[in-house]
């Protein structure tokens, strides 16, 4: 079984544990986002990210281009707690 198939199986299993009202809201939001066309503009695997700066954990600023000069960079996005 491929990774995508495994992830889909996990997704379906987790959705089975959600109350129907909540699942309906999540699926509607997903479908609305897809219809908006916004997902057509997101970066794809292999695309180059635009340069940006963010605060570091030490209080300074970190620029993507500065990190890339030192080697590959992995970006992880954390959605936070809902």
Closest CA to 27 of 41, 11, 43: 11
Q: What is the pLDDT of residues 55-78, one digit of tens each?
A: 988 999 999 999 999 999 988 877
pLDDT over 70 (residue 81) = no
pLDDT over 60 (residue 82) = no
Buried b (16+ CB within 10 A) or exposed e, 52-65: eeeeeeeeeeeeee
Tokens at 56, concatenated: 């570091």
Separation between Cα atoms, residue 12 and residue 2, nearest integer Å? 15
Neighbours of 4 (CB within 10 A): 8
At 19, is the secondary structure helix, strand, or coil? coil
Greater model confidence, 61 or 48: 61
């Amino acid at each position: 079984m491929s990774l995508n198939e495994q992830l889909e199986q996990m997704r379906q299993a987790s959705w089975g544990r959600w109350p129907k009202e909540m699942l309906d809201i999540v699926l509607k939001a997903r479908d609305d986002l897809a219809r908006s066309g916004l997902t057509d503009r997101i970066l794809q695997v292999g695309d180059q990210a635009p340069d940006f700066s963010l605060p570091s954990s030490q209080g300074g600023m970190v620029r993507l281009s500065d990190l890339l000069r030192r080697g590959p960079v992995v970006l992880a996005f954390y959605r936070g707690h809902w």
